[in-house]
Structure 1
Amino acid sequence: MTTTETRVDDTSYPTRISGTPEHLPRAHPTVWGTEADGPIDAATLASHDATGYSVVDQLLSPGEVQTYWQELVRLSSDERLRTDERVITEARTGEVRSVFDVHELSGLVAELVRDPRVLGRARQLLGSEVYLHQTRVNYMPGFKGTGFYWHSDFETWHAEDGMPSPRAVSCSIALTDNYPFNGGLMIMPGSQRTFVQCAGETPSENYKSSLKEQRAGVPAEGDIVAMAAEYGIDQFTGQSGSALWFDSNILHGSGNNITPYPRSNIFLVFNSVENPLVEPFAAGSPRPSFIAGRDFTPLTR
């Protein structure tokens, strides 16, 4: 079942503008649920509300990590997928960078998104039933893995997918150890409370290049300097099996991995069923459904 798409007034989060970008106060909550709504305790919810992220150590057991790691190897080695548009390769090396819509390609991941350890937290943080906006696996091999420049996911999802508000949350589950030196994700804690506008128009079919290297929809260097001065930078490190939950509007990025140690993860994005996509706010047409899901049916066990 899908919800009829309608255009809503874009007064809170205008972006891809022609003038000078501004920093706008967030008009919506970070945490929508309460302690009674799921497995996250009150103190962790309060911390997530303040910083925009939280970490669950050992969400997956070592045995589960190994099972999912083998699944990543299978997907990246499947020659039948090499020409599939859901498989994104590195711009310089041609190696697999990401595989999108992975819950449709892997029964294991399809089960994971409905696992109570995952689904329960998504529902609690968003205070509602949820659906999948996006799923993918990310590969950052040793020596060759390239990072992601500073950005807010919501800025892109709002501009190019038509997500009305930042009532979405991402879960990144580490399948390799995350060190400070192998391209670990960096986050500006608290930055989810500020929407940083971006300048410039969205190119036609921008996703075809942005998934390899994002250029449209990234903050100006001066804005990044100002946000870092205000919020600082944290980094997600920890053992494989740990999970990072982070708000859709938080500023984050990662550097290249020039170490011998790979960094791979399963990336799941949950959106509230009360926040369905409409027409894009700053693009000529929506991105494909394998990047921005438009089946708003609530996830169930």
Structure 2
Amino acid sequence: MTDDMYPSRIGGREQIIPRKDPVIYADPATTHGPLNDGQLSFYRENGYLIFPEFMPQLVAPLRAETESLRHKLAGREELVCEPHDNSLRTIFNPCGFSGAYDRFFRHPQVLPIVHQLLGSEVYRMQSRINNKPAFHGRSFAWHSDFETWHVEDGMPRMRALTAWIMLNENHQHNGPLYVIPGSHHLYISCSGKTAEDNYKSSLREQKLGVPRAETMREILQGRDIHAITGKPGTLVIHECNLLHGSPDNISGDPRQVAMCVYNSVHN
């Protein structure tokens, strides 16, 4: 499309494009919410927020629900395996099969934060549980969620975010999420073209929409990589265009997080 502000995977060379959308959509002069000025400023600048041990009382019920979903969804495509073995990598759409997860991601302590950042009512675009078993959980390559959602799902603008909760401790050795603070101000127009039903393979191992090494070197000039770690029950929110990824789990501790993507009803 010639009027696409964020073209990607159109067969051309890879390039970095400045962001053309706001990071926070609510007007601070007229909108009230749970986030203070410091938190809003941090999110605007860095693209994420961490709420340590936000709702620890829900961890045990959600972990039990996760085990139930493993059995409930056995044999269905919502259970996604690791790229090189049959260990569980992702449970897709837990909110569609679990009342407990549906209620959590509608919780009155979570939704007001989302509304304040996106400046509107929202809908749940997708949900998933990412699972990295001890010693076997594999990496997720650097990527922007928005690039995938824009190219493959038709999301027009950067007015979405992901909220996720740690279901066990996320530490330096069990494959925590890595982010590049500030990278959400740039958009990487990736090379290549998207095959039909690309999601069926990309959920196991993402290859398209992954920036090249030379692009990442340019992005990392003057920027750091930050590992998001925390105790069970920690809530994290990251902006849709923030570059993130995660390494292999080389520890004896599993890593499990449940996440929900919220998109503005105007997007």
TM-score of the pair, normalised by structure 2: 0.96
Give the counterpart of 2:17 among 11, 21, 24. Answer: 24
- Distance in 1 between the 2:2 and 2:115 partners? 26
CA contact (8 A) 1:182 1:258 kept: yes
Instruction: Note if 1:247 corresponds to 2:244.
Output: no
Instruction: Give unpaired runs (5+ residues) of structure 2.
Output: none
CA distance in 2, matches of 1:268, 1:227: 27
Does 1:68 find its partner at 2:68?
no
Kindly indicate which of the two structures has a greater share of residues assigned to strand: 2
Cα drift, residue 18 of structure 1: 2.1
Give the aligned length.
Answer: 265
**Inter-partner Cα distance in structure 2 for 1:270 and 1:231:** 27
What is the Cα-based RMSD across aligned positions, in Å?
1.3
Q: Determine whether 1:45 maps to 2:40.
A: yes
- Write the deviation string for residues 234-276 of structure 1: whole angstroms up to 9, x where unpaired: 110111100111000010000000100111011110000000x
Provide the C-alpha distance between the structure 1 equivalents of 2:3 and 2:38, rounded to a whole number of angstroms: 34
Deviation string for 1:84-135 (max 9, x for gaps)? 1111111212112111111111110110111011111111110000001110
TM-score by length of 1: 0.85
Cα offset for 1:82? 2.1
1:224 alignment partner, SS class: helix
Could you tell me whether the CA contact under 8 Å between 1:37 and 1:127 is conserved in 2?
no
Deviations 1:36-93, CA, capped at 9 Å, x for gaps: 43211111001100000111112212x31111111112212x0x52221111111212
Q: After TM superposition, give the deviation of residue 23 of structure 1 in Å.
A: 0.7
Counterpart of 1:171? 163
Deviation sequence 1:196-235 (CA, Å, 0-9, x none): 1100110111111000000111111111111112322111
Distance 1:74 1:37 in 2: 38
Whether the 8 Å contact between 1:188 and 1:250 is mirrored in structure 2 is: yes
Letter in 2 for 1:264: Q
Match of 1:135 in 2: 127
Does the Cα contact within 8 Å between 2:137 and 2:249 map onto a contact in 1? yes
Tell me how far 1:17 sits from its aligned partner.
2.6
The match for 1:200 is 192
Q: Distance in 2 between matches of 1:9 and 1:137?
A: 36
Identity among equivalent positions (%) equals 38
Q: Which amino acid aligns with 1:240?
A: P
Q: SS of the residue aligned with 2:170?
A: coil
Matched, 1:155 2:147: yes
Counterpart CA distance in 2 for 1:251 and 1:73 is 30
CA distance in 1, matches of 2:3, 2:174: 39
Secondary structure in 2 matching 1:230: coil
Give the whole-Å Cα distance in 1 for the aligned partners of 2:235 and 2:19: 25
In structure 2, do the counterparts of structure 1 residues 10 and 269 end up closer, same or farther at CA, with 3 Å as the change threshold?
Answer: farther
